[in-house]
Amino acid sequence: MAESAPLKIVFMGTPDFAAASLRHLLAWDGCDVVGVYTQPDRPCGRGQQCRPSAVKMLALEHGLDVRQPVNFRDEADVQALRDFGADILVVAAYGLILPQSVLDAAPMGAVNVHGSLLPRYRGAAPIQRAVMNGDAVTGITIMQVVKQLDAGPMLLQKALGIGCDETSGQLHDQLAELGGRLLVETLARLRAGTIMPIPQDDALATYAAKLTKADGLVDWNRTAVEVHAQVRGVTPWPAAYFTLRREGQKDVRVTIEPGTIGPLLEQPAVPGTIVGLVDGAIAFACADRTYLVRTIRPADKKPMTGEAFWCGYLSRCEGECPGFAVCEGA
């Protein structure tokens, strides 16, 4: 392909992370987005109303042809993809497994925008797992798509530091923009023939499993640094939660926003015990020191300050009020 010829692209993606890449493609004069694939509209929220994906909304704003197959088992759907005549497929958080027939639908194959420095964190939740594991650095990988999950040869990578108080939601937004920029750079170099794929070392691969609500259950038996990493990693979803057991009173399920690492425990305390109020923050005992929570939300209530929660929920407790983390529904 001549370097001056725009790449004809079919884009495949669904959430906000993918929409950032599509925005960068639409702003680049080196390509022509001829079609967009995204997951079908699904019910969401308390009202369970069907809502279009972020990618669909952006695509429709730009008058693009949007397709939403449930899967690609029907040969007619695969043929419809071929009929776009794309040079290359661009995939970003699409959410569907792509069969070989789809990967072969464009002469230049398919490239994927992945939110980690592969081969670390292959899988569905690379951003959240990096934060939960306390990593200091993550990044974006643009890779060729193969049948094996996130195992294709790498085209470009770019690292990004993780702030010590950064949540997965904040990191997600940074990586989404970085991914869009790196995608355009990758495609420009592919178009010019100046990029060489690098195979992944499978021996170094790790897997980032999809998050569930259970991942939000705070484990106070960890160190305060580890608790802080967990809370940041599950913010905004599924959110960090636990059940506070108050002696002689009704248990209360709460969620918390990321707090700060407090001082060492002055004396041994059962992990999860509330050991005091420090500068308006509730101090929870961890394995080594305290974790200070300034924003807490009781079930079916609005978020409140730690001091307000202390006055409203703990002032009637005699002595120290233990807060034990228990599984949801226990």
5 confidence band (pLDDT: 50, 70, 90): confident
Mean pLDDT score across all residues of the chain: 92
The number of helix segments (H) and strand segments (E) in the chain equals 8, 19
**10 and 89 in contact (C-beta within 8 Å)?**
yes
Of 269 and 139, more confident: 139
CATH 3.40.50.170 residue window(s) in the chain: 7-208
319 pLDDT band, cuts 50/70/90, is very low
Give the mean model confidence (pLDDT) for residues 262-286.
91
Name the pTM for this structure: 0.92
Q: Check the annotation: does 160 bind a ligand.
A: no
Among 15-24, 219-228, 242-251, whose mean pLDDT is lowest?
A: 242-251
- Residue 64 labeled ligand binder: no
Q: What DSSP assignment string belongs to 207-258?
A: EEPPP-GGGGB--TTS-HHHHHHHHHHTTTTT-EEEEE--TTS--EEEEE--
Say what percent of the chain tops pLDDT 70: 93
Residue 144 has pLDDT above 50, yes or no: yes
What does the alpha-carbon distance between residue 203 and residue 57 come to, in Å, rounded to a whole number?
40
How confident is residue 300, by pLDDT bands cut at 50, 70 and 90? Answer: confident
pLDDT of residue 323: 44
- Is 116 annotated in a binding site? The answer is yes
81 is in an annotated binding site: no
What pLDDT, on the 0 to 100 scale, is given for residue 312? 85
**d(C-alpha 200, C-alpha 173), whole Å:** 26
Higher pLDDT, 302 or 248: 302
pLDDT per residue as tens digits for the range 169-221: 999 999 999 999 999 999 999 999 999 999 999 999 999 999 999 999 999 99
Q: Superfamily assignment of 7-208 in CATH?
A: Formyl transferase, N-terminal domain (3.40.50.170)
**Greater model confidence, 210 or 4:** 210
In this prediction, residue 313 has a pLDDT band, given cuts at 50, 70 and 90, of confident
Tell me the pLDDT band of 3, cut-offs 50, 70 and 90: low
Q: What is the pLDDT of residue 245?
A: 82
Q: What is the pLDDT of residue 250?
A: 81
Tens digit of pLDDT for each residue in 68-102? 999 999 999 999 999 999 999 999 999 999 999 99
Is the model's pLDDT at 321 over the cut of 90?
Answer: no
**From-to residues of CATH 3.10.25.10 in the chain:** 213-314
pLDDT of residue 44: 73
**DSSP strand E in the chain: where?**
7-13, 31-37, 42-44, 49-51, 66-67, 88-92, 110-114, 122-123, 137-144, 154-161, 207-208, 240-244, 252-256, 260-264, 274-278, 281-285, 289-293, 295-298, 304-305
Where is 26: in which H helix or E strand? helix 16-26
At 322 the pLDDT is 45
pLDDT at 99: 96
Looking at the predicted structure, is the pLDDT value of residue 329 above 70?
no
Is the model more confident about 45 or about 23? 23
pLDDT score for 124 = 96
Q: What is the band of 328 on the pLDDT scale with cuts at 50, 70, 90?
A: very low
Instruction: Quote the pLDDT of residue 45.
Output: 67
* Other CB atoms within 10 Å distance of the CB of residue 33: 22
Assigned CATH topology for domain 213-314: Methionyl-tRNA Fmet Formyltransferase; Chain A, domain 2 (3.10.25)
